[in-house]
Amino acid sequence: MAQICTTLGKNNGMVDQHKIQFDLIKLLNGERILRLTEPQSGLSLEKKLAPADAVVRQKEKLLGVFEAALARAEMMKV
């Protein structure tokens, strides 16, 4: 299994995007999984990537869902 880690360089609202970790995991059968993790909250989200769609678009969509989940988790703390 190959793994590539990057971080996103934006800061927007309550979510500190500098700390969101992106892992692109290539499975033995050739499929790829994109995993987003925020270390402070421990929240992690994974999605199998569609081979026909651009990775960047799928990453942006997953990031939107992930940010919403982080914001919701933050609201639950209050």
Dist CA 75 CA 71 (whole Å):
6
CA 25, 30, 31 angle in degrees (round to 5)?
Answer: 60
The pair of three-digit structure tokens given for residue 76, joined into one six-digit string: 């639950």
Q: Please state the domain count of the chain.
A: 1
pTM over 0.75: no
What would the pLDDT profile of 5-31 be if each residue is shown by its tens digit? Answer: 444 444 444 556 678 999 999 999 999
What would the pLDDT profile of 33-75 be if each residue is shown by its tens digit? Answer: 999 999 988 889 999 999 999 999 999 999 999 999 888 887 8
Q: Residue 65 belongs to what domain range?
A: 2-77
